[in-house]
Structure 1
Amino acid sequence: MKTHIAVATSLLFLCASLITPSLSAFLCHPSDYNALMEIKNALNNPYHLASWVPNTDCCGWYTLQCDETTNRVVELTIFSGQVSGQIPSAVGKLPYLTNLTFRKLSNITGSIPRSVTNLKNLITLRLSWLNLTGPVPDFLSELPNLTFLELDFNQFTGSIPSSLSKFTKLLALHLDRNQLTGSIPESFGHFSGSVPDLYLSHNQLTGSIPKSFANMDFQRIDLSRNKLTGDASVLFKPNGSTQIIDLSRNVFEFDFSKVKFPRQSLISLDLNHNSLYGGIPEDIVNVENLQFLNVSYNRLCGEIPTGGKLDIFDSYSYFHNRCLCGPPLLKCK
């Protein structure tokens, strides 16, 4: 009788283990699993994370990805859902993350947790279209492998940390669409390694372009819709590789006629709503791939050059200047 009872007990235990496998049987690493459970609880168990079912393999959950070799969580993307709260500090307990994204979540508030500095493998950090507040954290420069930093469409205030120039692998820096004040850090002219695309538009930045920018060959730079002043001609490098320059809606004031353009690389140039004076340089007709031009609402004078790509632009590119003339505007007198 005892033998029958022992056999029956063993069978019941075996069935139970098959129905409810232990966490150790999962592919997901236990410490990653625990961190994800903390993140879900901190975000008040939103429906967006409904696939994050306790005691199941986290490598099968939506919004994240595990490495096929190590089974560690390497990507976490929480995007466009009904999620509220603050970015949980538990994200710093996922040490193998290479990509961390919180995006288009208007009910995510507060600041960036310092625990993100534990993520030394992080390559991409996208915290955009949220409602994050406070200063842009200086400690972000402690992420040595970062190649893409996107903090746009938030409510960050204060000045831009000069320490962000310490990145050596950064390819793009997005700080646009915030409420940042102060000047552009002089250190941004001293990026070592790669030179990042720089997006600082739609802030309240003041002052002039740092002189150190003479050292930098930005491929894409957008400083539009700020309160920047002075001479921005340092951004134009005839032997450079700049593709896009947008300086529109600032208070820049310099002699545009003296500018030399990167003839092979320049694609888009937007200088509208500034105080540029002088004329349009003849050299602009030699820019081989120019697709967009806007110098309207300045104080330019003289005849508009003709030829090359310039012939594709209409009056919208030139109107509201002091005395520009010639096609596509009125004839010169």
Structure 2
Amino acid sequence: MGRNITCFSFSEFALVFAVLAVLLFPSSNGQLQYSEVQTLFTVQRILEYPSALSGWSNRSNFCSDFQSSSLTIVCSGASVTELSIVGNKGASSGSKLLQNFSVSYQTLSSEFSIDSLFATLSQLPSLKSLSLVSLGLWGTLPTRISLLLSLQVLNVSSNFLYGYIPMRVSLLRSLQTLALDNNMFYGHIPRWVNSLNSLSVLNLGNNALNGSLPSTLGTSKNLKVLILSRNRLSGGVPNLSGLVNLEVLDLGDNLLGPKFPALGNNLVKLSLQRNLFTYNIPSQLASFDRLESFDISLNRFVGPILLPLFSLPSIQYLNLSGNKLTGLLPVHMKCNAKLQFVDISNNLLTGVLPTCLRNSSSTTVSYSGNCLNNTSKYQHQYSFCSNPALAAIPPPLKKKTSSNKLILLLGVAGGIVAGAVIIGFLMLVLFRKCKAPNSRRQKTKVITASAGFPPRLLSNS
């Protein structure tokens, strides 16, 4: 009898332990609770049944049946923690700013409501990662986005979203990745970006953002990736040397400049192409040991080419083309064996192509449009590259500002003098007009008086 009680107690203990294990350590592949299943079906309907969600049914195990490049659902217990949907309605380029209505075959229909979409997604309280890419979403980011308080990743790239980046995004305090690239957002980059203390990835590339970069970017200590390329940003770049974790910086295709930005030396990729940067390439770049990709093409850099760039320990991609860099390339210059691509074309370089670039079968090298000797590619005459005017360093900004002020003052003074002359001339004309009637009246009286005398008297006088 006592033996049976012992067995029964052990079985009961095992059952209780199993239940506790399920409750305390839920399986990541468990079935979702009914309310979240219904939420996913509502998302499917709002997104107008994209092909990535075509396999959903009432019998689906959402936590395990759908894992692909176009759809990922990750669960913790009975709740969705990650939802990633990738469609095939990639954002169009060029004149795509078509607000307040849909575009056939590119966006979702005019019945689509982005506000309803985020209101529905807010019913997934454990959602930490949300990616809705190339789905044809259109409209402005709604204020309801702040209801997704658990979000760590928000990726809505390659859609047709427009308007200002809403301040409500700053309420997502756990956000680590914010990707709004390839949309139609306009306005300035928000100053509140640094309030997202956990933010490590910020991608706002290929939008219509304008204005200057906020100085607060330089205090976003945890940033690892900062992509602001292909916008309409202008002015100087704030001091980013304090971003010690920054590994990727892409500011290409803007109107930034003229000074090379102050940066930390942990960068792996640096892209500044197609801007208005001038002056010399700073010698500090020679200490960027982790740098793998460096692109400053199509700017206005002048001065001697920085030879240590070719031998940086990690460098693989180097594009210095389309500037006014000068200097003699030494034949036996050192190059990193990892170099895969080098473009030094359309500068003012002289000498010969270094052996490490000429004899490398693993490196693609472009060098036309310089003044190099013993090459088969198009080169200018040496006199072209020795022209001081072409390689001139532009005057400092302060001097330029002073001369502008002097010109302005001279213009104002000249305008005042010219105005005084015109006013004086007009007063003279008016004065003469006022005197003219009196002169005529006096002359008439003389003639009339003379007419009363005999001709003989007039002749005697």
Tell me the TM-score normalized by structure 1. Answer: 0.80
Cα deviation digits, residues 278-301 of structure 1 (max 9, x gap): 112243355112111111111111
Deviation at 1:313, TM superposition (A): 7.4
Aligned to 1:165: 194
Aligned residue type for 1:200:
L
Distance 2:300 2:169 in 1: 36
Distance 2:137 2:255 in 1: 29
Of 10, 24, 28 in structure 1, the residue corresponding to residue 32 of structure 2 is 28
Q: Is this contact kept in 2: 1:300–1:324, CA < 8 A?
A: no
Is 2:165 the partner of 1:136? yes
3-state SS in 2 of match to 1:149: strand
Aligned to 1:12: none
Cα deviation digits, residues 51-110 of structure 1 (max 9, x gap): 444587655674453524x210112222115782344121122111111111122x2211
Note closer, same or farther for the CA distance 1:171–1:257 as it changes in structure 2 (3 Å cut).
closer
Aligned to 1:181: 210
Aligned residue type for 1:159:
H
Aligned residue type for 2:180:
L
Aligned to 1:118: 147
Aligned residue type for 1:160:
I
Aligned residue type for 1:224:
G
Moved more, 320-329 or 166-175: 320-329
Is 2:345 the partner of 1:319? yes
Aligned to 1:200: 228
Aligned to 1:109: 138
Aligned to 1:229: 257
Note closer, same or farther for the CA distance 1:324–1:207 as it changes in structure 2 (3 Å cut).
farther
Q: Is this contact kept in 2: 1:233–1:259, CA < 8 A?
A: no
Distance 1:294 1:125 in 2: 32
Gaps of 5+ in 2: 1-29, 90-106, 355-366, 374-381, 384-461
Distance 2:57 2:309 in 1: 60
Is 2:134 the partner of 1:98? no
Distance 2:44 2:267 in 1: 43
Q: Is this contact kept in 1: 2:84–2:132, CA < 8 A?
A: yes
Distance 1:76 1:311 in 2: 38
Distance 2:350 2:247 in 1: 29
Aligned residue type for 1:95:
P
Q: Is this contact kept in 1: 2:240–2:261, CA < 8 A?
A: no
Distance 1:293 1:142 in 2: 40
Structure in which a larger fraction of residues adopt helix: 2
Aligned to 1:307: 334
Q: Which has the larger radius of gyration?
A: 2
Structure in which a larger fraction of residues adopt strand: 1
Distance 2:335 2:52 in 1: 52
Aligned residue type for 1:72:
S
Q: Is this contact kept in 1: 2:180–2:203, CA < 8 A?
A: yes
Note closer, same or farther for the CA distance 1:38–1:299 as it changes in structure 2 (3 Å cut).
same
3-state SS in 2 of match to 1:40: helix
Note closer, same or farther for the CA distance 1:307–1:48 as it changes in structure 2 (3 Å cut).
closer
Deviation at 1:43, TM superposition (A): 2.8
Cα deviation digits, residues 202-242 of structure 1 (max 9, x gap): 111111111x313223211010111111112412x4xx211
Cα deviation digits, residues 142-200 of structure 1 (max 9, x gap): 212222221111111111111122222222111111111111111000013x2231111
Is 2:73 the partner of 1:65? yes
Identify which of structures 1 and 2 has the higher relative contact order when contacts are C-alpha pairs closer than 8 Å and 6+ apart.
1
Q: Is this contact kept in 1: 2:315–2:338, CA < 8 A?
A: no
Q: Is this contact kept in 2: 1:125–1:149, CA < 8 A?
A: yes
3-state SS in 2 of match to 1:214: coil
Deviation at 1:120, TM superposition (A): 2.2
Note closer, same or farther for the CA distance 1:184–1:32 as it changes in structure 2 (3 Å cut).
same
Distance 2:149 2:240 in 1: 29
Distance 1:312 1:72 in 2: 47
Note closer, same or farther for the CA distance 1:57–1:317 as it changes in structure 2 (3 Å cut).
closer
Aligned residue type for 1:32:
E
Aligned residue type for 1:67:
C
Is 2:264 the partner of 1:213? no
Aligned to 2:287: 262
3-state SS in 2 of match to 1:77: strand
Aligned residue type for 1:38:
T
Identity in percent:
26
Aligned length: 300
CA-based RMSD = 2.8
Note closer, same or farther for the CA distance 1:324–1:168 as it changes in structure 2 (3 Å cut).
farther
3-state SS in 1 of match to 2:131: strand
Note closer, same or farther for the CA distance 1:188–1:284 as it changes in structure 2 (3 Å cut).
same
Note closer, same or farther for the CA distance 1:301–1:31 as it changes in structure 2 (3 Å cut).
same
Q: Is this contact kept in 2: 1:52–1:61, CA < 8 A?
A: no
